[in-house]
Amino acid sequence: ADIAASVGHEILDGNYDRAILFCGTGIGVSISANKVPGIRAALTHDTYSAERAAKSNNAQIITMGARVIGPELAKSIADAWLASEFD
């Protein structure tokens, strides 16, 4: 949980533009990151949710569950999010 808040602050400080966080379900790091004022973190579980996180919500962080999705899907989700921009 502390890492999610740290990453959020790094983004706000301008050290990073975006980040991808993992935990068992993705829920914990999403909650922790969203406690940082000004951060928008979205739990993603497929490419559509990743695209919408960027396009509709301008999420600076996406989160995923390592126990929920496999490595190939995680890569596809990351690629979809990184290729999408806020509308």
Q: Which residues are catalytic?
A: 23
Helices (H), 1-87: 2-12, 27-34, 47-55, 71-82
CA dist 21 and 36 (Å) reads: 15
Which of 77, 23, 1, 3 is CA-nearest to residue 46? 77
